[in-house]
Chains A and B, each alone.
Chain A
Amino acid sequence: MSVISVNKLQKFYKVHQKEPGLAGSIRSLFKRKYYDVKAVDGVSFEINEGELVGFIGPNGAGKTTTLKVLSGLLYPTAGDVSVLGYTPWDRKPAFQKQFSLVMGQKNQLWWDLPAIESFILNKEIYEVPDAQYKQTLDELVDLLDVSDVLKVQVRKLSLGQRMKMELIAALIHSPKILFLDEPTIGLDVVMQKKMRDFIRQYNQKFNATIILTSHYMDDVKELCQRVIVIDKGHVLFDGALDEIIKKFANHKLLTVVFSKEVTEKELKKIGTIKEFEFPRAVISVKRATASTAAAELLQNFPVEDINIEEPKIEDIIREVFTGKDLA
């Protein structure tokens, strides 16, 4: 059953354009040029209950704007959106009690008070019954291992501890839907891993529906069965992560180690040279001709070792965004 449904969503911003420099600033005092930024332009997708979906795309692709519309912060320019049967921007309390938005760069905790005070406030705001609050809090504190710093002023916490606290504050009302915008931003690798483990557990344990945006491909690779690739306000791809490779990667990589010197010129006949530093070379060849190219290499060159690989998912996505062909 789909809990989130987005149909032809558009969100345009009016932005005023400022000429560079002081003269431009003065001119913009009197006359301003406005233009529309199409942050989201015709995005559609459906998400089912319990799915963990990754939004990927470069900065300014429209990921965060989409999340903001889904959580009712922004009014769309056009299109239909339904989350749990509600129209998000009506901001109905019954809807708000069922989701949570976590933004890695925004904090909701009271800076000068211990985090526990913010939890208590959220408990009251979301009208969570005492017993449920206690149980949820104990569980979350346990999962995230923060019992020793609950009563420490938020300003004195490390970034990692604070992010954990932000998560607890966002989850104290046991939301069914979770929007995570860059939840691992600024965290060290160990902390990132812990955060990921937690997100996965939360998804499985409570059958929560989660949409996650991240710049770290590892987040997406580890967590999401399904990804939606967004660029310039459009959906480029929606499906399983592995499918991206089939769809966008029309080539494979041959990694070869040579036993004797070979020239770059000779190698170029096989395919596009990605890296070459004797004795190792990485050559990109068309997917369909990968095996013939490998055979040719083995036959005509002093090959010590050869390996045929799919290109890295990061590379594929980067190339998709920059609009360059891989091969």
Chain B
Amino acid sequence: MKKYLTVFQLSFQNEFTYRLNFILWRVRNILRILMVFFLWNSVFSGRETAFGYTRPEMMAYVFSVLFINTFVMSAPSNDNVGSQISNGDLSNFLVKPINYLHYWLTRDWASKLLNILFATGEIFTLYIIFRPEILFTNTTTFLFSGILVTIIAAFIYFYLTKIVISVAFWAPEQPWGLMFVFLVLYEILSGGIFPLDVLPLNIYSILKFTPFPYLVYFPIKLLVGNATYPEIVNIFIGSFSWLILSKWISIKLWKNGLKVYSASGN
């Protein structure tokens, strides 16, 4: 569809106009990775393994987080959709022959692509500076399945956030509070700070039934090659299920939301 291609191009141009914003967002990502890096560095000082991870394995995990987080979380839609519902700017889109969610999905992907380019550079630089021992036991199967699951993760993240944001239809002042709660949960439960299997087994097994591990932890598990074949299959089943479920719920909520949408402002 040519219209979405144009949206993609404009988004790319638009990202460049907010240079400072973009740079700060990247700085935030690097700071986070440094924090996690030093945290694990001190945990591993004087010992070979911790929580069942060797130092090179953990370093591979930490560096993958930067990459995956950048890819999954770069989503300008999160900052815009809620306010567009609340202040009525959504109206501009509803009168046109364009799908609003696809519009934002396209803009998110433009942002993801741009951010991934920068993240690659950052990871390379950090690697040069710290020269950590990194262990990837990779095969093409892992790499491909890892990339595929990461791409699905980006879609799940998109639909989950849109489910959260759709609360704005019913309570125009609410989306930020709920979004904040969601993001905090995301940070902790998705595996962005520590690999989830360091958690007690019972907590970990409950977490597996939420969408969060599918956003960061499982994609990394595949990318670094730390999974058995049955696990790969399970991850794929879970990942697809969450994709379908989150998409279905978000579309349903949006349909109902648009019925109560009051196109406020003016």
Residues of A participating in the B interface, judged by any CB pair closer than 8 Å: 13, 64, 68, 71-75, 91, 93, 96-97, 99-101, 103-106, 108, 110, 112-113, 117, 120-122, 124-127, 153, 181-182
Contact = CB atoms under 8 A, between A and B. Distances in A.
A76 to B, nearest CB: 11
Interface in B32-68: none
B138 interface: no
| Contact-size category for B | 20 to 34
A129 B241 CA distance: 41
A103 B91 contact: yes
B92 A93 contact: no
Interface stretch (B12-20, B23-31, B125-133, B198-206): B12-20
B254 interface: no
B266 A113 contact: no
8 contacts: A13-B262, A73-B95, A75-B259, A96-B95, A101-B91, A113-B13, A124-B3, A125-B3
A181 B95 CA distance: 14
A29 B7 CA distance: 41
Contacts of B95: 71-73, 96, 99-101
A112 B18 contact: yes
Contacts of B2: 124
A106 B262 contact: no
Given A68-B91, A106-B89, A121 B97 contact: no
B263 A68 contact: yes
Given A64-B266, A74-B263, A93-B97, 8 more contacts: A96-B95, A96-B96, A106-B265, A112-B14, A117-B13, A121-B6, A124-B6, A125-B96
Given A103-B91, A106-B88, A113-B10, A126 B97 contact: yes
A73 B262 CA distance: 8
Contacts of A97: 97
A104 B266 contact: yes
Contacts of A73: 91, 94-95, 261, 263
B98 interface: yes
Contacts of B91: 68, 73, 101, 103, 106
A73 B95 CA distance: 7
B111 to A, nearest CB: 14
A126 B17 CA distance: 26
B262 A105 contact: no
A225 B16 CA distance: 48
A121 B94 contact: no
Contacts of A112: 14, 17-18
Contacts of B98: 125
Given A106-B88, A106-B89, A113 B17 contact: yes
